[in-house]
Structure 1
Amino acid sequence: MTQKLTPGTAAMLVIPPMLWAGNAVVGRLVHELISPIALNFIRWVLAFGVLLPLAHGVLRKDSPLWPHWRRYALLGLLGIGLYNAFQYMALQTSTPINVTLVGSSMPVWMLAVGSLFFGVRVTQRQLLGALLSICGVLLVLSRGEWAQLLAFRLVPGDLFMMLATISWAFYSWLLSRTTEPTRIRGDWAAFLMAQMVFGLAWSGSFAGVEWATGHFHATWGWPLVAALVFIAVGPAVLAYRFWGVGVQRAGPAVAGFFVNLTPLFAGILSAAFLGETPQLFHGVAFALIVGGIVVSSRKA
């Protein structure tokens, strides 16, 4: 059953794609300054430092985290260790349009994972909403010229992005399954810290493999430092905070449609920072994406 989408919940779910669009823009700006796995690991090290004063109690021996460590280890793997690492890896061999096209399949994966692994029935409204939303994303990516999509070709990076999207779908559904005590679930900082403890272990292990294979590199300077601070505070801490609340309120199936706002916000940020003038198709795409969200979230 779909759940009612309130204005407050919608606002919660709009903020993460806005920050994630910023993450994509900034990540692209520094992709020559730092290797992808190192970027992901250092990002979460900084985010850990930001969150530590708010949630240091989670690390104590008597913390309610430890009886549920397997759940948090899985959440940390999917949401912190894998998703952004796969995304940064995808951008090494795939073009931004390919990566975003693959990422636009998020609503489909949300519905598929929910149906196959969590016993959630997919409704006709959700399927229609998915179609409308994806059409909006394709309109943005084609810049109003559908012929541009004919140049789409799969490369290894597209597979990485698909794995990232599937990882995030599982992560979001697991967020909606409450098993931990209210002490952690009711405290957003503690809940994110519980995931981050294990996520750091996963991403650190992946960074170690990157180092050992000779692919690690970083060119330090103010551009890279500023980028790391932004992606650690905004897309990491704040976006995960709002996404977690939004998923719990609206459900993963409805929340999945909001991810398709990311390329739209990316287009707006490109217009703001790269001087590209917004076009009519941006408005049409926005209407399609929002229409998909509204249709999929309405009760039958």
Structure 2
Amino acid sequence: MTQRLTPGTAALLTTAPLLWAGNAVVGRLVHTMIPPITLNFVRWVLAFAILLPLARHVLRKDSPLWPHWQRYAVLGLLGIGLYNALQYMALQTSTPINVTLVGSSMPVWMLAVGSLFFGAKVTRQQLAGAVLSILGVLIVLSRGEWSQLLALRLVPGDLFMLLATGSWSFYSWLLVRTSEPAGLRSDWAAFLMAQLVFGLAWSGSFAGVEWSLGRTHIEWSWALAAALAFIAIGPAVLAYRCWGVGVQRAGPAVAGFFINLTPLFAALLSAAFLGERPHLFHGVAFALIVGGILVSSRR
């Protein structure tokens, strides 16, 4: 059951986009050092090692995880195996600003997935807000030139990010559709570890496919080590903890709007660390997406 949006819940749902914006910037910084799917796999191996002292009891034979393994296998696929791998693949050909702005279509995906698959009602205000958000995303995809849309000249990274956003929408709705014991969900480390058990299997399998295609070169350095440490601790463990608790408190539809803070943080971080200045069409797109939030949230 969702609750009223409190300052504490808002803080949790704001922390996650900040860390994920940092994840996009760091992913772009190291995109030539390590293959994208391998990066995702190594990230979650490190996160598993961090969580193991806190939640090793989840791996026991009598753990409440195993009677519900199918649910956690799906959560691990959507939230760990697919979403992050697709985002790192997107950053091979797109910038953090573009990737996070495309990800700002999240409220649209949340409404569509909730309505089509989870029986959630969609209001007229939410539809109007969705239209504004879609316009904002189209501006990003076209780089501010509508002729590019007519010619279907899309950067592959933008398409990967759209797929990632759809995957995350299903993941977020499944977070609040639960039948497992409350004890497993109330322990954030155990809840994430339960997803990681299967998420590692998915991400490792995808990395194996990447290696079979010959993409095995890794340029080890202190910079790459620092990047791996950050994305394992911040965007993986801390952000997932904040997002999971925030979604359970506020619900997926409300939480989805907070994803739109990610491009703002990404623009600031990109300017600081990558020297990538936002363009005018980025500002127009962000204004439309924010307008979608305001319209959708009106009662």
Shift of 1:24: 0.5
User: In structure 2, what is the equivalent of residue 5 of structure 1?
Assistant: 5
User: In structure 1, what is the equivalent of residue 49 of structure 2?
Assistant: 49
Shift of 1:288: 6.4
User: In structure 2, what is the equivalent of residue 126 of structure 1?
Assistant: 126
Cα distance change of structure 1 residues 277 and 220 upon mapping to structure 2, 3 Å threshold: closer
User: In structure 2, what is the equivalent of residue 168 of structure 1?
Assistant: 168
Aligned length: 296
Cα distance change of structure 1 residues 283 and 219 upon mapping to structure 2, 3 Å threshold: closer
Give CA-to-partner distance per residue, 1:174-198, whole Å, 9 cap, x none. Answer: 0011211012011011000000010
Shift of 1:218: 0.8
SS at structure 2 position matched to 1:180: coil
Matched, 1:220 2:220: yes
Distance 1:199 1:292 in 2: 33
Distance 1:277 1:99 in 2: 14
SS at structure 2 position matched to 1:92: coil
Cα distance change of structure 1 residues 296 and 48 upon mapping to structure 2, 3 Å threshold: same
Matched, 1:114 2:107: no
Q: Is the 8 A contact 2:101 2:260 kept in 1?
A: no
Greater Cα shift, 211-220 or 192-201: 211-220
Give CA-to-partner distance per residue, 1:111-147, whole Å, 9 cap, x none. Answer: 00000000000112323444555667788x69xxx84
User: In structure 1, what is the equivalent of residue 17 of structure 2?
Assistant: 17
Q: Is the 8 A contact 1:257 1:292 kept in 2?
A: no
Shift of 1:295: 4.8
User: In structure 1, what is the equivalent of residue 242 of structure 2?
Assistant: 242
Matched, 1:158 2:155: no
Shift of 1:40: 0.2
Cα distance change of structure 1 residues 188 and 261 upon mapping to structure 2, 3 Å threshold: same
Distance 1:200 1:116 in 2: 29
Shift of 1:161: 1.8
Q: Is the 8 A contact 1:136 1:285 kept in 2?
A: yes
Matched, 1:58 2:58: yes
Give CA-to-partner distance per residue, 1:71-95, whole Å, 9 cap, x none. Answer: 0000000000000111112233445
Output aligned runs, 1:132-143, within 5 Å: none
Cα distance change of structure 1 residues 100 and 274 upon mapping to structure 2, 3 Å threshold: closer
Cα distance change of structure 1 residues 243 and 174 upon mapping to structure 2, 3 Å threshold: same
Distance 1:57 1:131 in 2: 46
Matched, 1:265 2:265: yes
Distance 2:136 2:276 in 1: 19
Distance 1:79 1:190 in 2: 16
Greater Cα shift, 289-298 or 258-267: 289-298
Cα distance change of structure 1 residues 212 and 287 upon mapping to structure 2, 3 Å threshold: closer
Shift of 1:99: 3.5
Give CA-to-partner distance per residue, 1:45-79, whole Å, 9 cap, x none. Answer: 00001111111110111101000000000000000
Cα distance change of structure 1 residues 282 and 165 upon mapping to structure 2, 3 Å threshold: closer
Distance 2:133 2:79 in 1: 23
Cα distance change of structure 1 residues 278 and 38 upon mapping to structure 2, 3 Å threshold: closer
Task: Calculate the TM-score normalised by the size of structure 2.
Answer: 0.87
Task: Calculate the TM-score normalised by the size of structure 1.
Answer: 0.87
Greater Cα shift, 184-193 or 207-216: 207-216
User: In structure 2, what is the equivalent of residue 84 of structure 1?
Assistant: 84
Distance 2:5 2:218 in 1: 43
Matched, 1:35 2:39: no
Equivalent position amino acid for 2:271 in 1: A
User: In structure 2, what is the equivalent of residue 251 of structure 1?
Assistant: 251
Cα distance change of structure 1 residues 202 and 279 upon mapping to structure 2, 3 Å threshold: closer
Distance 1:296 1:121 in 2: 13
User: In structure 2, what is the equivalent of residue 70 of structure 1?
Assistant: 70
Equivalent position amino acid for 2:178 in 1: T
